[in-house]
Chains A and B, each alone.
Chain A
């Protein structure tokens, strides 16, 4: 018997209409756990690096994590993996909600799509019965609307549905996959789903998930619940409200947006409005939010309430989380939160990424102002800030006129537009739009996370170590007192010694080596979460989470029955980290690509930044171009990667000399 996992993947070839249930190799679970880890292994093994994202040979993998479907709190994530049309690198984005557990109960760990369907279809997975069904009647329907229609059509109110909207159907690079209150938004996964002709995947499962050592496992779950309760009652002081508790930033609960509105940039990630927040705005925004927010809601098996049901008068109900209530309003320079909720409703039904999309629109209007785009490009566009954003959103998801160019994201759009437009696509890393955050002094830890993060999204890389020093020593001492999550005691000292000003402050403190250590810890937790399917909101993202490197090995071993200790888990992490890196190296990723936006910090330190990257690569066992070395790969039992690198000339037998260039 397989424990924690089902031991089966569903392989669906859309070109041939073939469906198979395939047993997986338990050895892969021990080496890579599941979720992101085994997705990456499949991508490495089966999709050659020359494959275009929109090729029928590209795979689109929907995976559960190893602990999904077990009683482990917050283990509910779906990890979607493919080659991204936006970055051309490995795209993996995740969503919470209820879909992944349902898939596990249906008897599958993953659904792997290959090929393309010639007409729009949806897939209905009902335990052992799997059907490819016609979806032509769902063409153009909203993502949430589609899920509802499918549930009604199947007469299965308990089916969980992941769907794309119009944006995915039209292969818009910012297209998301929507599911309940969650979405896999980044890196254009919805576009690949649309390209394959999949409108939705509906799942219903009523089978068991087994545990190897149940009593021990449930005891661990109880400890986690107890700790969550403790943390809910004991928010962390000295940090901004949204970082005090667990979960994703509690944007649906809190209405105080002073921090975001005054510190994040408006428009095309350029304008800071330091005096935006006042009593009047505060009152008005609070009223707006409380009026449209019907209920705070959670994902599967999680006591947190990071999401909300949003009912804006006159619009169909949708669900929201995190801070997309602000992204459109701020990009459009609209001071009314009501607009944020209204346009997000339309954007959610269209199925687009709430981070990139508003920025691309703001980028377009900047180009218009700079006369790089012309009035002809915007024929029929209203002149008011709200109206013009709705107008452009409609054009983008339909790929009409200028919308067709913008639908490829600001990086590719700027290239196509030319005439200096590249200067305006200023907030990208690895061709992908980033949070509209512009700061003063370089933070060495954040420099590394932005530069090297494979996820190309800071919130999926940052985490357990505070973003900034605390001013008073007593506050720091208080913070480290019960900091049980640290992988090593040295992190407490790093934090205690970290000052706001002077010698021990940014950018030279944390020192280069400390910065590398800190980043390693943050990355490790995210990679483990993404393999287990546990929400970052209970583990890698907030301060002092219930899951950490000390209790995870026991969770894994009591769930699966195989031996796992901290050293073993760290090795799995390193294996997964190197595997994801190797896939991207094979797609052309090199050191030159690893840089935060020029203007992310006002004060930059080129020499220090080079040292940071050097040290990070060295620590990882990579060469100076960010490529895992033969020795590193050998140590992790991944000679198959080294051999491939040698064959392709990415590595040479002469260690230290970089291999030939491959362009992304």
Chain B
């Protein structure tokens, strides 16, 4: 079993009802992440996007998360409070199914880094620039297990063996271990 550790998790609380849809978060995010800092801005490079559909009252800020090579099957609709959202709207992934969270020229994926900076910023810039408090910064203490359970590895390997055959998995592991 892994060791339990206490860890500060940086989070942003998003209050959809308070969003006025101005996209200041996108502006300052793209400016902060420009090189040199603030030298340019371009919301298409932002790591936060406001999914905006005024006529249906959809105002949904969402942050860039992990890159994924393949698109998922999530095309369902969520109806909340009488408003219809695409399942995609809530997803943080930089994925082939949409152009959000990718550098517009290179296509390279973007990911929110909570405005890592030296000296550190008090809060991410998007939060600082959201005067309507739709975005608020919160630090939470969480207990996490650092190590991966061996059983998980076994489950994973078993499914690989089932799919590709034992010999292929052994060969692959041998090749990977040589590289390392």
Contacts and interface: CB of A to CB of B under 8 A. Distances in A.
Contacts of A181: 54
Interface string A467-511: 000000000000000000000000000000000000000000000
A454 to B, nearest CB: 30
Interface stretch (A15-23, A298-306, A338-346): A298-306
A214 B36 contact: yes
B71 interface: no
Contact of A232 (B28, B129, B131): B131
Interface stretch (B38-46, B115-123, B142-150): B38-46
Contacts of A207: 42, 44, 104
A615 to B, nearest CB: 42
Interface in B10-41: 20-24, 27-28, 31, 34, 36-41
A297 B41 CA distance: 23
Contacts of B43: 105
B147 to A, nearest CB: 43
Interface stretch (A39-47, A66-74, A113-121, A595-603): A66-74
A225 B129 contact: yes
Contacts of B45: 208
Given A218-B31, A303-B20, A303-B24, A69 B57 contact: no
Nearest to A69: B41
A148 B38 contact: no
Interface in A35-74: 69-71, 73
A657 interface: no
Contact of A302 (B22, B37, B53): B22
A214 B21 contact: no
Contacts of A300: 22-23
A144 B56 CA distance: 13
A559 to B, nearest CB: 11
B59 interface: yes
Interface in B110-136: 129-132
A207 B105 CA distance: 9
A295 B57 contact: yes
B55 interface: yes
Q: In which size bucket is the chain A interface? A: 35 or more
A319 interface: yes
A215 to B, nearest CB: 6
Contact of B24 (A69, A70, A73): A73
A638 interface: no
A354 interface: no
Contacts of A24: none
B106 to A, nearest CB: 12
A211 interface: yes
A302 B42 contact: no
Given A208-B41, A210-B39, A214-B37, A294 B20 contact: no
B54 A180 contact: yes
Interface string A305-326: 1000101000011010000000
Contacts of A459: none
- Main DSSP-derived SS at the A contact region: loop
Contact of A215 (B22, B37, B56, B59): B37
Which of A157, A206, A215 has the largest count of B CB atoms less than 10 A from its CB?
Answer: A206
Interface residues of B, number: 30
A105 B21 contact: no
B40 A298 contact: no
B40 A211 contact: yes
Given A206-B104, A208-B40, A218-B38, A298 B21 contact: yes
Contacts of A304: 20
A416 B72 CA distance: 66
A217 interface: yes
Interface in A587-614: none
Nearest to B100: A158
Contacts of A316: 55
A125 interface: no
Nearest to A216: B38
B38 A297 contact: no
A502 B45 CA distance: 61
Interface in B51-73: 53-57, 59
A228 interface: yes
Contact of B55 (A210, A301, A309): A309
A148 B56 CA distance: 11
A229 interface: yes
A393 interface: no
A298 B22 contact: yes
A542 B37 CA distance: 33
A214 B39 contact: yes
A205 B41 CA distance: 12
A97 B41 CA distance: 18
B31 to A, nearest CB: 5
Contacts of A309: 54-55, 57
Contact of B42 (A208, A215, A294): A208
Interface of B: 20-24, 27-28, 31, 34, 36-45, 53-57, 59, 104, 129-132
7 contacts: A71-B28, A215-B38, A295-B20, A301-B24, A302-B22, A303-B132, A304-B20
Given A73-B24, A144-B55, 8 more contacts: A71-B31, A71-B41, A208-B34, A210-B39, A295-B57, A295-B59, A298-B20, A303-B130
Q: Which 7 A-B pairs have the closest CB atoms?
A: A206-B44, A214-B38, A303-B131, A206-B104, A208-B40, A298-B22, A298-B20
